[in-house]
A = this chain, B = another copy of it.
Amino acid sequence: MTWILKGFTEPSPLHDFLAPDSIAIVGASADPTKRGYKAMVGLIKDGYKGTIYPINPKADMILGIKTLPSLEALPEAADLALICTPATSVPGLLRECGRKGIKGAVVLASGFRETGRAEGIQLEKELLEAAREGNVRVIGPNTSGMFNLHKKVNLLALANIKAGDIGFISQSGNMLLSLVLEAEHNGHVGFSTYAGPGNQTDIGFNDYLRYLGEDPQTRVATLYVEGFRDGRRFLDMARQVTEMKPVVVYKSGATEQGQKAAASHTGALAGSYEMTVDVLRQVGVSVVQNSDEILPVAEGLGLLQQARGKRVAVVSDGGGQATIASDRLAEAGVELAQISETTRQRLAEILFPQASLANPIDVAGTSDADPSVLAKCMEIVAEDDNVDTIFLVGMFGGYYLRFAEDLLGGEMRGAESMIELWRKCRKPLVIYSLYEAIRPPALRRLHEAGLPVYASLENAVRVIAALGERGIFLAASHDKKIVPAAAPRPELQAAFATAHDQDRDLLEYEAKTLLRTHGISTADEVVVRSADELADVAARFGERALVMKVVSKDILHKSDAGGVKLSLQGEAALRDAYDQIMSSCRAYKPDADIEGVLVTPMARRGLEVIIGVMRDPIFGPVLMFGLGGIFVEILKDVTFRAIPLSRYDARSMVEQIKASKVLKGVRGEAAVDKEALVDLLLKISSIVEAYPELAELDLNPVILYSDGYAVVDARVIVDRPGAGPREAH
């Protein structure tokens, strides 16, 4: 049974050839060092049930199978072609595939775009044209290959891969090798389908993710990504898939040093790592930060129950590791559950008096006489409503080795109880044992039942955090409704068009009009086009201190041009300021087209924040939020979400920044109006969706108050040829 994702009427075309019934091997070889030989050996050894067509014009028979001189000689359209020949031969071969009706091809050769050379780039273009022409989908080029173990198709020439339900897509062949070895030696599950996307010339991560989402053999989709090519489509796909099954992503290039290393490797565009992590988490992806954690987290998400949240009960048999667990949990943002009084009483009934009944629970020697008491503790805390996840920490499984052989019975009974609890309880049991490396009988029993045991306390904590994050994400679905686009207004579209024709950005007052029109509160302001209007302006604002700024499409840096005057009161002051602005702006830029000045009351003091929108080449429009000044510039304490946002996204964005405490009021300041801020973020999302002409937006600063906010400065960059990255103010 294959699922079909929302928005599609049929399953992914990748099913046609990722589970092929016949495979043509172009460049099949009798030389045991060649991939065209090894792939055939792999298929035959593993007992592949489909048909193999070795294509080789020179040999008559390879490994006992009759060869064909060319793809044209095929008696039928094979489902898949494995192309082992050099780069230059590939476009021609793909055309042959197309003519023959072959639906997919795996292209191993390198020598394309990734070389950075013009010939390579050109050759890749030809490859794509040839593929599109004949409607052939391409894995690679520059791929390590693919396997589908449930179909016994393994084109990687990699022996002894354990079959299971982790689907894996990796831009690094070594990373596959590493996970395969880890799964074999320390792991709990095996793999369903693997593909190396290589240069992602045709099939990208979004396509593979759709396939894994639909594939009934895959329980967890796991991806090692150096760079996305179409991040926006990946996000859209992930929104759907993460609702059905866990998606685990390791994104390399977390640092500038790593990005440089990745760029020299595959030539994939690596966006800002922080932004990438934020937008992936936004759509429910479980992002892992260390390569050591990929397999443990994927296994945990695949094998364990869902958690409702992040409140963990730790059951331990020694204080030291309970302390380490507490530290790592806190660092991972996981809290120790408040155990209920009932639970404490029930624990007290079965534990020695010196046991610690506060979480972490330390059985303090009770288990030395009967290790199965640990399972009983787990059962008790599992019934506590305050507990989302149960975490066993210590030497379970090794009591009989450490103390006395007759404890083995208690260990085996404990293991059975844990298995039973795992099956009936709707909360995850995460088990760490310092004996896991030896895998004594009780732990072997847990393994056989499919209940993972972790050999690393730190990895176990990563699993708990991932389970909690996923649980919270899934539970918040009611709050995840995307805000709809605003209805674009003709007069604003006209303002964009004019700006576009004049090759300029929106003027400040135009930008604010855009915001105001769509319900964002901005200060009362007047554009003054001649000094004669200043008397009316003075009358209108009365006693309030005013600020005056030049309005000119030719002056971007208003302060530098002497185009800003603060704290003005009364007509005389306004006239003075007007004259000074005009003369210094004319001196600054004699040919500037000066439309006038903007007059607006000075904003009250409050908390400065920055809200920005950029169109990322990979992920499309992205909203950024952070506190102003040093927080953005030095500490880079900002958060990102792909537009459009849900209320959940906007809220989590505000809470995610490290300085979020500042919003609650520090140094005697009142807390700011968080709901107004959330509303502002959502309105910006809906405006960006309504105006594709808007390339970038920069509200810097927005001042937050305990009641509402003030947008003090607004800049809107209009999408047009040559509109560069935003300039500093």
Contacts and interface: CB of A to CB of B under 8 A. Distances in A.
Given A158-B402, A335-B257, A356-B264, A173 B320 contact: yes
A329 B324 CA distance: 24
Interface string A416-445: 000000000000000000110110000000
A322 B265 contact: yes
Interface in A359-413: 360, 362, 394-395, 398, 402-404
Nearest to A250: B324
A476 B358 CA distance: 46
Contacts of A171: 320
A364 to B, nearest CB: 9
B257 A457 contact: no
A327 interface: yes
A327 B254 contact: yes
B177 A291 contact: no
Interface in A549-596: none
Contacts of A170: 320
- Copy number of this protein in the oligomer? 2
Contact of A331 (B33, B255, B328, B662): B255
A292 B458 contact: yes
B257 A329 contact: yes
A723 interface: no
A362 B320 contact: no
Interface stretch (A62-70, A180-188, A672-680, A684-692): A180-188
Interface string A447-476: 000000000111100000000000000000
Nearest to A316: B174
A226 interface: yes
A634 interface: yes
A458 B262 CA distance: 17
A330 B258 contact: yes
Contacts of A256: 330
Contact of A258 (B186, B254, B327, B398): B327
Interface string A200-219: 00000000000000000000
A659 interface: yes
Interface residues of A, number: 82
A323 B253 contact: yes
Interface string A611-629: 0000000000000000001
Contact of A358 (B264, B434, B456, B658): B264
Given A257-B330, A330-B257, A318 B33 contact: no
A261 B326 contact: yes
Contacts of A185: 437-438
A319 B265 contact: yes
A457 B667 contact: no
Nearest to A185: B437
Interface of A: 32-33, 110, 115, 158, 170-175, 177-178, 181-182, 185-186, 224, 226, 252-258, 260-262, 264-266, 290-292, 317-331, 335-336, 354, 356, 358, 360, 362, 394-395, 398, 402-404, 434-435, 437-438, 456-459, 629-630, 633-635, 658-659, 661-662, 666-667
9 contacts: A170-B320, A175-B321, A226-B319, A252-B320, A254-B330, A258-B324, A265-B356, A292-B458, A635-B635
